[in-house]
Amino acid sequence: MNRIALDLQREIRDKLGLYVTVGMGDNPLLAKLAMDNYAKHNDNMRALIRYEDVPNKLWTIPKMTDFWGIGKRTEKRLNKLGITSIKELANADPLLLKQKLGTIGLQHFFHANGIDESNVREKYTPKSTSFSNSQILPRDYHKQREIELVIKEMAENLAIRLRKGGKLASNLSLYAGAASTSEYSSVKVSRNIEATQNTEELQDLAISLFREKYQGGAIRQIGISGNQLSDSCVKQLSLFEGVQENQINKKQESLQKAIDEIRETFDFLSIQKASSLSEGSRVIYRNKLIGGHAASQDKEEKDVS
């Protein structure tokens, strides 16, 4: 194992010019603890912890917060139970830990004894990613046409991000937060859709969702997200889409990608719809806010991360 670690260090050094630390162990937890608490302090930048080393190498870690998964808050809770070291944690009553800390208490007990049941051989299947953005409006929007204008602008922003990321969205979610002065409820709606990254399709769908649930009243916050993403290169063809309609969609996609490229090369505001000059529009302000780049509170979520 030590030889493999040495070869790995040398290969990374030769190819990338980086010197890396390597932790080794009988399970992922022990390898992690070996790296954090020993390898970083060794001249060869390598360390190994076997199961038989647990009493000498885990229980002797001086600070509880140096142990994986234990922060200051958890340390304080353990201290209240009379547990002030990893050795005391390893020899504590597991039933008491579960009673006071829940299942995480049991996990800390097992970890303190060097037990880790995670399996790195299992194939990792990442959860779908969602693209979303939201904004708080500068004032209460009372007029429906102004609200829908912002929704369209945000749907366009979502479509651009999907195309840039090479993704299609199979679910669309919309949130329109009611103003504090409104007597009506906020709009919260989500709908499965045919996978798309088309600007006009997403705009139409977003407006349709909004009109379906909107009962009136002022809106102060709007959020939109495309969920259940898939790669755009594997788009499924519709049996109900005619040849002519398919050709129109392809022309729209080509046009939208061309506009994306122009905006990427010059400036996002280099091509804009006339509606961006309308009262209530946010696109010009938000794109000037950060040097011409999209200024929405974008976030990429991995029902991960």
In angstroms, the CA 253 to CA 304 distance is 30
CATH 3.30.470.10 holds for 129-233+258-302 = no
Q: What is the mean pLDDT of residues 47-71?
A: 94
Residue 289 reports pLDDT greater than 60: no
- Interhelix angle 103-112/72-80, rounded to 10 degrees, is 90
Residue 266 reports pLDDT greater than 80: no
Strand, helix or coil for residue 27 = coil
CATH of 2-112, one of 3.20.20.80, 1.10.150.20, 3.40.50.720, 3.40.50.300: 1.10.150.20
Does 2-112 match 129-233+258-302 in CATH topology?
Answer: no
In percent, the amount of the chain with pLDDT more than 70 equals: 76
Mean pLDDT of the chain, nearest integer: 83
In angstroms, the CA 101 to CA 158 distance is 41
**Per-residue model confidence as pLDDT tens digits over 160-190:** 899 888 899 999 999 999 998 899 999 999 9
What tokens does 271 get?
């091509």
In percent, the amount of the chain with pLDDT more than 90 equals: 55
pTM over 0.85: no
Strand ranges (E), 73-214: 129-141, 167-178, 187-196
**Per-residue model confidence as pLDDT tens digits over 218-260:** 999 999 999 999 887 655 544 445 555 555 666 767 777 777 7
Residue 212 reports pLDDT greater than 90: yes
**In the chain, what are the domain boundaries?**
2-112, 129-233+258-302
In angstroms, the CA 162 to CA 78 distance is 46
Q: How many helices (H) and strands (E) does the chain have?
A: 10, 7
Residue 298 reports pLDDT greater than 60: no
3-state helix, strand, coil in the chain (%, to 5): 50, 20, 30
**Per-residue model confidence as pLDDT tens digits over 109-152:** 999 999 987 766 665 555 557 899 888 898 999 999 999 999 99
Give the CA radius of gyration of the chain: 27
Answer yes or no: are the C-beta atoms of 49 and 57 closer than 8 Å: yes
DSSP annotation string for 233-275:
GGPPPPTT--HHHHHHHHHHHHHHHHHHHHHHHS-GGGS--GG
In angstroms, the CA 148 to CA 207 distance is 7
Longest dimension (CA), the chain: 75
**Residue 210 CB-half CA count within 13 A:** 28
